[in-house]
Structure 1
């Protein structure tokens, strides 16, 4: 008899669509309210409605959920898509401050939260394009 391990996606482990929606909403609410996020907030338009939807689709797919982003937008090419915006250490740190607070607010102190934050930090580091 063969034993087969079933890999449960991060998407499912954190609570699926409801959790991703709450995380993204908290993230952009933090971007609107945290003083240290002023510079990255200024990189976005006044209305965050559409970017919230796009980020939810991206984060759903990135965490192993349904493919909602790539059928519409193609390969994420995140670094290329963000090249028009100067992303230095300060911008990365401001973005991570919004995300860390959102993770704290929505996922609490869990192993999944720590794993997700670790992977998001790697992604945020990779997005830097300015010294």
Structure 2
């Protein structure tokens, strides 16, 4: 994780409470996006809970995801889902909207978006 004068991105943006607000905003967008709803469950409660654990860890906070679920193995865990370039873009759009909605300040908004974009690109496993 990239460190800042505040330590980590997690600390710089406000810790758990901010990451939780970001995750809630993100899943509110995911739940309504027509390109994403086909690959997500109708009830996003558990999906969002797991994503929160991942975001906390990914941004440099406590390793909650690994404590509960082991190594992320993101690509492997996402192979059952058809992740196309369109779905990648939709997912990133939802994240960008959530970053703005929660008012994540620069340069952290850009750093988060760029790091997540690398991960999202890695998750693609199906062409259009």
Q: Report the TM-score, using the length of structure 2 for normalisation.
A: 0.90
CA separation of 1:108/1:71 partners in 2, compared to 1, >3 Å: closer, same or farther? closer
In the TM superposition, residue 109 of structure 1 has moved relative to its aligned partner by: 4.5
Larger radius of gyration: 1
In the TM superposition, residue 108 of structure 1 has moved relative to its aligned partner by: 4.2
Give the paired residue count: 124
SS in 1 for 2:30: helix
| Aligned-residue CA RMSD (Å) | 1.6
CA separation of 1:6/1:24 partners in 2, compared to 1, >3 Å: closer, same or farther? closer
**Partners of 2:125 and 2:73 in 1: CA distance:** 14
- Corresponding position: 1:90 with 2:89: no
**Partners of 2:70 and 2:6 in 1: CA distance:** 25
Q: Report the TM-score, using the length of structure 1 for normalisation.
A: 0.88
In the TM superposition, residue 23 of structure 1 has moved relative to its aligned partner by: 0.6
Aligned match of 1:8: 7
- Corresponding position: 1:115 with 2:111: yes
Aligned match of 1:126: 122
**Partners of 1:39 and 1:6 in 2: CA distance:** 38
In the TM superposition, residue 6 of structure 1 has moved relative to its aligned partner by: 6.9
Gaps of 5+ in 1: none
Matches within 5 A, 1:36-51: 37-51=33-47
- Corresponding position: 1:75 with 2:71: yes
Q: Which runs of 4+ in 1 moved over 4 A?
A: none
- Contact 2:57–2:65 (CA<8 Å) still a contact in 1? yes
Gaps of 5+ in 2: none
